[in-house]
Structure 1
């Protein structure tokens, strides 16, 4: 190790390997050779995985590597479900370390029963030593967020809880009381979160950007906090109003493509950095595209069809962020504005739309390998202003306008059989709405219902095969566009504040104020 340090002093380079990093970092730290310390930290960060993240996190308790500690901690929190279920390192955590992890707001779990199961697994590893810790660990779990049946039949009846019931009784009763208060509270009452029911921060947020509100385009950006079922207004002053645009997330940036501001049809493309909250223009498209369809495949953005102010387009182009250049790809078989697109199995699918005369039932896909468009089986009906999204290994087509009325219908395309099948209808008919998949559920937001724009939002869960309502957006709008942004280090800036104990008002409570 000393030889490597001396060689680094002369060459400013060092070879870090899996065999030497465990000894090289302590030696470099002892002699304050910060360049080697950083090289070792970078090496370990690049190799973070489910099997070593906890040991690397604990390593930074001894040696000062703040960025590595932050990344290891974030990795543990983001992958807690897998770590708690299978990691051997997890079983060796101390009580303090376990509590530090599971009490975090940004612990990434879809259901609190995952946390309880992981705690039970940790205690069972050394039962005689750890079963007395249950009353210390249990308050760190958001018990009141659990499904009531799971809480009563699994948690309350667990043998560890029963054996420690004298110590855990108050915790169990508080959880039941909080659960009942939140479940049966009146619509106009003020319900305050307790530590047992405070929602955790989501791993990913859904952004709803721009759209048509009232008689003009809007620049409003709202973020959906799925854990708290709330919308947060995150509009920036420099945001420009736009509608009928496309939005995608790629490599840390949110790209807004084309659109219309009631005066101009855009060829411009802007990207938003959700960490710094700043907008930047990138290379414009070859064509102006309002009512554009966009998708991401293999690190590139595809923009297809649309309306340039004169004609409906069948042209398509591809953007490469590394070169900041758009290049034309072969045109589609159909002129399509008001269509929508998604990607599945290395192909870009585009469905429906309007050709200037008729709403379309046709669909096709682009394969980058062959550089060709191929038509697929048409949909069962005509759809313009529809939603298209990949969900559960199928292409879902949702709602839209058939030339006569707004639609509630949903159908799913199986690329293996080249067939469509009917799915449960949405609760509300709509066209020109936002659509995305978040946490294994399909969300639709806003749109035009045939009479007015709406702020109504709902989601579909393929496990239950049902649609259900979620919290309404803050404003009425159609012609918006959405994307999901995962793993933000500053995700709390896009969520309901967890230190504010009072939750936002329900839709009914907001209506009572007017």
Structure 2
């Protein structure tokens, strides 16, 4: 047979196989009540059983297999080619040759005992696998492309995976490219790291790629990063001359910034052979800089600064004013626990406040300005930063101008404080920018006119200020700030003038939610309309109505959902207890459990918090 004939015959067989699969799928699609078709009950089982009977009685066998220990086994080409890619390829190539061709096949890489097990599996659908033979079965099944056996062996290993054998199984999974087993072995090794790392012989001889895969996981079972570091050190020192080349790769899995500076200097930097590796020295230096310049930490985030704890994006509310002026302002930071469907105390503010501004920058919560005392003569200019990684507050540089009834915006890793007021009669056009790399505020271009209670949002690298009120008037003005030009420009006005609204960037639009306005009779009323702004067309459009109109409320978003909490409803003269959620895709409203205290001047944010972290210590 020439090469062309072989090629054509192969195509014909492949075409037959495709046609067979198509007809099989068609057969499976019938339910038995279509005209002309009726499934034959138990036919597959009958065929399978019949082939087993023929094989055991040595009837119609047309090929002999020889193992590496010269044991002979007879079988059917049809069964072999159906179950194994290796035999399928062989018999395709020989289909037009003499009938005696390939009547005998030597399998030098498979033992007789394993070949017997594989043939039993083909004819019975059952695999005799145990700890003593699984490795040999796997290697043989992979060699002949018997994927059902490979899957069965992987299932067997998964069923028997434990902290006692997970490191060995990791080697097996890597050797045979078993992805599910790799994932499970890594998970068990990480979650039992303190135990498995004490298996000195096995652990200290792990391949570096396996050790790296374990150490970089968030679920690594350690009390602190020093434990992981010392395990790395002992692994390197087992064969320092050969393994020192991997020191930088391994040290990169240790989250050094989570250690305090004294631990880094006394317990890490003291190993001179590690510090002679330039990349290791650089990581230690970066860690010490991280602690020496705490205001910059929000700009220095990396996988090494993330705690090895389960992280949850949480709706949090910050501060606010109670119903009575004689009551103290709220200093609670409350979180909504979606697992328990309850509100819980997350932490306490360093000082209570209302009508303040909040921002989240690279996982850190910033709280600025507002009133710290009910009925205060002047607002505050302080700002505090909360780090949910360790549950600590830090006082940052103060704003240049005290302000309340304003909002913060985050743009290009900087925080902008926009407008606000210093008293009941004086609004601000002032805008200032906080640079965390310098821990410093600086004035930037002012708004076109003084305003308080403007809604502030950021999209496409621009800062927007929408609505608000001047000293004696209500605004529908929309202004946009371009940092590179240090300039505000006036855009198309909103349809409904308002103040105390919120502006949220979602899927390429800015959503303007809530707030208050003045009706035709001069009465203060809450705005029901939610509007949406398209930066591409410079147009505002109506989206939906508020379920519970309100102003002076807290508002934030997560993906396409907007969350609304607290505030005051001028239409009913009530403080809403309802916590509401608006889905911008479905335009549907839902509710969350109420908070116990109805607050005005409250703020809200989405903040990543970590399990097993007590923020109230």
Q: What TM bracket, shorter-length normalisation?
A: 0.5 to 0.7
Which residue does the alignment assign to 1:394? 509
Deviation, 1:491, is 6.8
Residue 593 of structure 2 corresponds to residue 471 of structure 1:
yes
Which residue does the alignment assign to 2:575? 453
Query: Are the aligned partners of 1:219 and 1:239 in contact in 2 as well (CA < 8 Å)?
Result: yes
Query: Are the aligned partners of 2:347 and 2:615 in contact in 1 as well (CA < 8 Å)?
Result: no
Equivalent in 445, 464, 475 of residue 349 of structure 1: 464
Query: Are the aligned partners of 1:292 and 1:338 in contact in 2 as well (CA < 8 Å)?
Result: yes
SS of the residue corresponding to residue 39 of structure 1 reads helix
Deviation, 1:463, is 2.5
Equivalent in 407, 424, 429 of residue 293 of structure 1: 407
Which residue does the alignment assign to 2:477? 362
Equivalent in 307, 315, 326 of residue 206 of structure 1: 315
CA deviations on 1:160-204 (whole Å, 9 max, x unpaired) are: xxxxxxxxxxxxxxxxxxxxxxxxxxxxxxxxxxxxxxxxxx730
Query: Are the aligned partners of 1:409 and 1:426 in contact in 2 as well (CA < 8 Å)?
Result: yes
Which residue does the alignment assign to 1:268? 382
Equivalent in 427, 431, 446 of residue 547 of structure 2: 427
Corresponding residue pairs, total = 326
Deviation, 1:29, is 5.4
In structure 1, distance between residues paired with 2:331 and 2:211: 52
Query: Are the aligned partners of 1:225 and 1:494 in contact in 2 as well (CA < 8 Å)?
Result: no
Q: Superposed, which structure 2 residues align to 1:124-139 within 5 Å?
A: none
Equivalent in 329, 345, 365 of residue 233 of structure 1: 345
Residue 391 of structure 2 corresponds to residue 277 of structure 1:
yes
Which residue does the alignment assign to 2:250? 41
In structure 2, distance between residues paired with 1:321 and 1:482: 22
Which residue does the alignment assign to 1:482? 604
Which residue does the alignment assign to 2:153? none
CA deviations on 1:284-327 (whole Å, 9 max, x unpaired) are: 11111111121101110000100112510011010011100001
Q: Do the aligned partners of residues 406 and 45 (structure 1) sit closer, same or farther apart at CA in structure 2, a change above 3 Å counting?
A: same
SS of the residue corresponding to residue 503 of structure 2 reads strand
Equivalent in 352, 366, 378 of residue 255 of structure 1: 366
Q: Do the aligned partners of residues 226 and 343 (structure 1) sit closer, same or farther apart at CA in structure 2, a change above 3 Å counting?
A: farther
Residue 455 of structure 2 corresponds to residue 340 of structure 1:
yes
Deviation, 1:39, is 2.5
Query: Are the aligned partners of 1:387 and 1:435 in contact in 2 as well (CA < 8 Å)?
Result: yes
Which residue does the alignment assign to 1:242? 353
Query: Are the aligned partners of 2:550 and 2:568 in contact in 1 as well (CA < 8 Å)?
Result: yes
Which is higher, the Rg of structure 1 or of structure 2?
2
Q: Do the aligned partners of residues 230 and 418 (structure 1) sit closer, same or farther apart at CA in structure 2, a change above 3 Å counting?
A: same
Deviation, 1:266, is 0.8
Deviation, 1:44, is 5.5
Q: Do the aligned partners of residues 458 and 277 (structure 1) sit closer, same or farther apart at CA in structure 2, a change above 3 Å counting?
A: same
Which residue does the alignment assign to 2:417? 303
Q: Do the aligned partners of residues 439 and 494 (structure 1) sit closer, same or farther apart at CA in structure 2, a change above 3 Å counting?
A: farther
In structure 2, distance between residues paired with 1:461 and 1:247: 23
Query: Are the aligned partners of 2:566 and 2:600 in contact in 1 as well (CA < 8 Å)?
Result: yes
Deviation, 1:365, is 1.1
Query: Are the aligned partners of 2:360 and 2:366 in contact in 1 as well (CA < 8 Å)?
Result: yes
In structure 1, distance between residues paired with 2:341 and 2:545: 22
Q: Superposed, which structure 2 residues align to 1:115-264 within 5 Å?
A: 203-216=312-325, 217-236=329-348, 239-261=350-372, 262=374, 263=376, 264=378
Which residue does the alignment assign to 2:492? 377
CA deviations on 1:436-474 (whole Å, 9 max, x unpaired) are: 112431111111012132331111112211122221123
SS of the residue corresponding to residue 203 of structure 1 reads strand
Q: Do the aligned partners of residues 43 and 214 (structure 1) sit closer, same or farther apart at CA in structure 2, a change above 3 Å counting?
A: same
In structure 2, distance between residues paired with 1:42 and 1:342: 40
SS of the residue corresponding to residue 250 of structure 2 reads helix
Larger relative contact order (C-alpha < 8 A, sep ≥ 6)?
A: 1
In structure 2, distance between residues paired with 1:24 and 1:220: 43
SS of the residue corresponding to residue 402 of structure 1 reads strand
In structure 1, distance between residues paired with 2:460 and 2:582: 22
Which residue does the alignment assign to 2:525? 405
Q: Do the aligned partners of residues 463 and 227 (structure 1) sit closer, same or farther apart at CA in structure 2, a change above 3 Å counting?
A: farther
Query: Are the aligned partners of 1:340 and 1:351 in contact in 2 as well (CA < 8 Å)?
Result: yes
Q: Do the aligned partners of residues 32 and 460 (structure 1) sit closer, same or farther apart at CA in structure 2, a change above 3 Å counting?
A: farther
Residue 528 of structure 2 corresponds to residue 417 of structure 1:
no
Q: Do the aligned partners of residues 331 and 294 (structure 1) sit closer, same or farther apart at CA in structure 2, a change above 3 Å counting?
A: same
Runs of 4 or more above 6 Å deviation: 23-27, 32-37
- State TM-score, norm by structure 1: 0.58
SS of the residue corresponding to residue 528 of structure 2 reads strand
Q: Do the aligned partners of residues 22 and 468 (structure 1) sit closer, same or farther apart at CA in structure 2, a change above 3 Å counting?
A: closer
What is the CA RMSD across the aligned residues, in angstroms? 3.0
Which residue does the alignment assign to 1:437? 557
Q: Do the aligned partners of residues 38 and 212 (structure 1) sit closer, same or farther apart at CA in structure 2, a change above 3 Å counting?
A: farther
Query: Are the aligned partners of 1:424 and 1:466 in contact in 2 as well (CA < 8 Å)?
Result: no
Query: Are the aligned partners of 1:306 and 1:336 in contact in 2 as well (CA < 8 Å)?
Result: yes
- State TM-score, norm by structure 2: 0.49
In structure 2, distance between residues paired with 1:435 and 1:491: 27
Q: Do the aligned partners of residues 356 and 23 (structure 1) sit closer, same or farther apart at CA in structure 2, a change above 3 Å counting?
A: closer
